[in-house]
Structure 1
C-alpha cells in the first residue's frame, strides 16, 4: 500500500472537494467496512470522454500473482478512506469471489453496454 494519499483542496466554494493523484491510488488495498482486506487496486480505468475514473480493477486471490482474479469494480462502489490510506467497498469477501471477473490475459470489453449493465447491476451502482 502507498504510504500517502495525496490530496489537494480545490477552490470551488464547496468545502471538502478533493483531488487525488492516480499514483496514490494505484496498488492501494481495498477493505470492507469490517476491516477485512478484499484485494489491491491494479489499474484505474478512465472514461476519456468525461475524464473521470469509471472502474478500479481489483486483484483478489492467488499467490504471487498466480491464479489471481481481476474485477472491474465501478468507481462509485468505492470510497476513499484518507485517514487509513485505503479504499473501502461495502461487500463481503464471499460476494466478491462470486462477482463477474476476468484473468490478466482476457480483459472484457468495458465499452460493451451489456457488460457495463451487468457489472453495475452486480455492485448495485448506477451507470
Structure 2
C-alpha cells in the first residue's frame, strides 16, 4: 500500500498529469505524484479562504483512458446523513500534501446552493453537463 511523503519542492507547486500538488516532490516511489487512491478517501477539502468544503468520498477512474475522471466531494450533512455529493473534475483540485488535504477554489455558498447528485445515480463522463453543474 502506498504511503504519503510530506516534502516541499523548491518551486512549492508540482504539476503532473492530474491535480496540481502543493508541497510535492518528484520521486522514484509512491508519494504525492503516484499514490493509492484509497489513501485519499476521507481527505478534507477546503477552499482558498480556508472554509471546510467536505471530504473526498471516492475517486472515479475512466477505465478506458486509465485516468482519474473526477473526485466525489461529500459536502454538508451530519455524520454522513443529509450530505450532498458533487463530481469535481480532478483538474479543479490541488493536493496540499503537507496538510493532507485538497484545495478547491469554489466559494462554500456555491456548494450550499447547488443540487449535487443522487448517491444512486453517479455522473458519467459521457454526460456533457456533469462538469458544468457546480
Q: Same fold (TM over 0.5)?
A: yes
Partners of 1:108 and 1:118 lie apart in 2 by 13
Greater fraction of residues in helix:
1
In structure 2, the partner of 1:112 is 126
CA distance in 2, matches of 1:21, 1:70: 22
Query: Which one scores higher on RCO, CA 8 angstroms, separation ≥ 6?
Result: 2
Secondary structure at the residue paired with 1:97? helix
The answer on whether the counterparts of 2:87 and 2:123 sit within 8 Å (CA) in structure 1 is: no
5+ long unaligned stretches in structure 2 = 6-25
What is the DSSP-based 3-state SS (H/G/I as helix, E as strand, rest coil) of the residue aligned with 2:34?
strand
Task: Give the gaps of 5 or more residues in structure 1.
Answer: 12-16
1:90 to 105, 109, 113: 105
Aligned residue among 23, 29, 33 for 2:48: 33
- What is the SS of the residue equivalent to 2:81? coil
Distance in 2 (CA, whole Å) between partners of 1:60 and 1:51 is: 27
Q: Does structure 1 residue 45 correspond to structure 2 residue 60? A: yes
